Chain A
Amino acid sequence: GAVVSQHPSRVICKSGTSVKIECRSLDFQATTMFWYRQFPKQSLMLMATSNEGSKATYEQGVEKDKFLINHASLTLSTLTVTSAHPEDSSFYICSARAGLGDNEQFFGPGTRLTVL
Chain B
Amino acid sequence: SQQGEEDPQALSIQEGENATMNCSYKTSINNLQWYRQNSGRGLVHLILIRSNEREKHSGRLRVTLDTSKKSSSLLITASRAADTASYFCAPDSGGYQKVTFGTGTKLQVIP
Interface residues, chain A, with chain B CB atoms under 8 Å away: 1, 4, 6, 31-32, 34, 36, 42-44, 46, 49, 91, 93, 95, 97, 99, 102-110, 112
Contact call B42/A105, Cβ cutoff below 8 A = no
- Give me the 3 closest cross-chain CB pairs, A-B, nearest first: A107-B43, A109-B42, A107-B42
Interface residues, chain B, with chain A CB atoms under 8 Å away: 30-31, 33, 35, 40-45, 48, 50, 88, 90, 92, 94, 96, 98-104
* Interchain pairs with CB closer than 8 A, number: 59
With contacts A102-B31, A102-B50 taken as known, whether A46 is within 8 angstroms of B98 at the C-beta atoms is: yes
Contact pick for B98, options A1, A34, A43, A104, CB 8 Å: A34
Shortest CB–CB separation between residue A63 and chain B, in angstroms?
A: 18
Contact call B43/A93, Cβ cutoff below 8 A = yes
CA gap between A107 and B37 in the complex, in Å: 10
Contact call A91/B40, Cβ cutoff below 8 A = yes
Chain B neighbourhood of A34, CB < 8 A:
98-99
With contacts A34-B99, A46-B100 taken as known, whether A103 is within 8 angstroms of B92 at the C-beta atoms is: yes
Shortest CB–CB separation between residue B27 and chain A, in angstroms?
A: 16
Contact call B42/A93, Cβ cutoff below 8 A = yes
List 18 additional A-B contacts (Cβ < 8 Å) besides A95-B43, A103-B92, A110-B40: A1-B45, A4-B42, A31-B96, A34-B99, A43-B101, A43-B103, A44-B101, A46-B100, A49-B98, A93-B42, A93-B43, A97-B96, A102-B30, A105-B99, A107-B42, A107-B43, A108-B42, A110-B41
